[in-house]
Structure 1
């Protein structure tokens, strides 16, 4: 982070700072059960005085710190855990601090976006349960075998797949032999939102006694309309 000839001065000055010592003390408390709190308290109490000065080597020897180390020799220098290195970087450079904050915010936004996708996926699973319950109540005759029931469920699942994705689950697997999972695992957030709505609507259509081919046509029209609306909304947010 710093060249050797400049580093010693900056690190020594940084280590004199009371806020730095507070940070180092908290870090060691979290990760170092052998930390010498008595010696650390003495060092911390001296911080802020004009006469106070301490090297990394002296600090480590007195406190048994593990988060920062000073090594001598050809490849020597001051080494620190990345948590402490980030703290040092923010102390010497306001620009570095801004970049670090921006990167943290970007990662949090990315994490929230991923959580949103997962939430939509879970919502789709819940609605699929509603969908399959409707099939059981309205399409499955009494005393059918488990194999028959399975075929009916699969058929209804493909109604949604064809309406939304244009192909059945088997057709998707045949077209993507190298991919794991199913077509819904690779759907976009908008597709999952639309699919969630379609599952609810299909359950209603089943309850109304609509034949499968009619439901497929209706669901496909709804999918096209809803995807157009969702894509238009996305474009507005991107402007």
Structure 2
């Protein structure tokens, strides 16, 4: 029985440990469900030639730093009866889908894809039960509606990013060819802050001061709601048109603030959407 402080997923009414930092699942626990021989099942699964092929293919797809040189050796030797390989050897060879925890509550932990592969190798019954448990866990954590919302948000963020690049390109392109690079960056930042003020009533610097976020790659858009990203996308297109018509910064800001308010009302056009938007704002604190 795992300690109560650990995260778990229920499979066949048994607690299967989940590493709280990585979300990786303890396949030793899943192996124990069959006949209590989890370590033996994991070892046999690791040495199977089909498993080695899967490990290599998965790492090539999901691990940018994976070289796969040592895996070629594993693949050639995996057909021999004497072939054995451990999770540590896989990790040392660059595999990111597996790791081992030592100690009383230790075990072999795998990425969800590896976990499903193990359950399928172990037994069709456990395969089906594992998939059902993981799907149930995903729905409880995110909800199917939230998963859809996350997808929509990623698309909206991507569109907003493309529009932002268009805005910055537009203002920089309007400068003389001899304009200093720092001048170009300044104008790009100024235009971006017009958008930020219109959308969130603060500049990027004010946002960092307010939130204490120092990660240079993080920005306000990373924490925006779907509705805000839609509004921002529209504002950036409008700003590009205002640039071409040579409006002053004050005129741009006045027009964009008015448009932002109208669009937010439009996108939060039901009581549920308006309530969710307010809750999101309160949760992030700005």
Q: By the TM > 0.5 criterion, same fold?
A: yes
TM-score range, shorter chain: 0.5 to 0.7
Per the TM alignment, residue 169 of structure 1 is displaced from its structure 2 partner at its CA by 1.4
The verdict on how the C-alpha distance between 1:89 and 1:164 changes in structure 2, with shifts beyond 3 A counting, is farther
Q: Residue 90 of structure 1 contacts residue 96 of structure 1 at CA under 8 Å; is this kept in 2?
A: no
Q: CA deviation digits over 1:133-177, x for unaligned, max 9?
A: 332355x46754333333322221111110001101121122122
Q: Which residue of 1 aligns with 2:180?
A: 145
CA contact 1:184–1:192 (8 Å) conserved in 2: yes
CA distance in 2, matches of 1:216, 1:202: 9
Which sections of structure 2, spanning at least 5 residues, go unmatched?
1-28, 37-47, 56-73, 87-107, 276-286
The within-5 A match list for 1:210-225 is 210-225=247-262
1-structure distance, mates of 2:267, 2:147 = 21
Higher Cα Rg: structure 1 or 2?
1
SS of 2:160 mapped into structure 1 = helix
User: Whole-Å Cα distance in 1 between the matches of residues 118 and 177 of structure 2?
Assistant: 69
Q: Deviations over 1:107-132 (max 9, x none)?
A: 89677755544443332222122212
Cα distance between partner residues in 1 of 2:49 and 2:187:
64
1:87-166 matches, cutoff 5 A? 87=120, 88=122, 91=125, 98-103=132-137, 114=150, 116-138=152-174, 140=175, 143-166=178-201
Corresponding residue of 2:22: none
Query: Larger helix proportion, structure 1 or 2?
Result: 1
Matched residue, 1:58: none
- More contact order relative to length (CA 8 Å, sep ≥ 6): 1
Normalising by the residue count of structure 1, what TM-score does the alignment of the two structures yield? Answer: 0.56
Match of 2:119 in 1: 86
SS of structure 2 residue aligned to 1:232: coil
Q: How does 1:1-239 map to 2 (within 5 A)?
A: 7=35, 26-27=50-51, 30=54, 33=75, 34-36=77-79, 82-83=115-116, 86-87=119-120, 88=122, 91=125, 98-103=132-137, 114=150, 116-138=152-174, 140=175, 143-180=178-215, 181-232=218-269, 235=272
TM-score (norm 2): 0.49
Instruction: Name stretches of at least 5 consecutive residues in structure 1 with no aligned partner.
Output: 9-23, 38-61, 68-78
Q: CA deviation at 1:199?
A: 0.8
* 3-state SS, counterpart of residue 209 of structure 1: coil
Higher deviation after alignment, 197-206 or 221-230: 221-230
Q: Deviations over 1:180-231 (max 9, x none)?
A: 2332232233322221211111111121232222221221122122223323
Q: Distance in 1 between matches of 2:128 and 2:186?
A: 64
Over aligned residues, Cα RMSD in angstroms?
Answer: 4.6
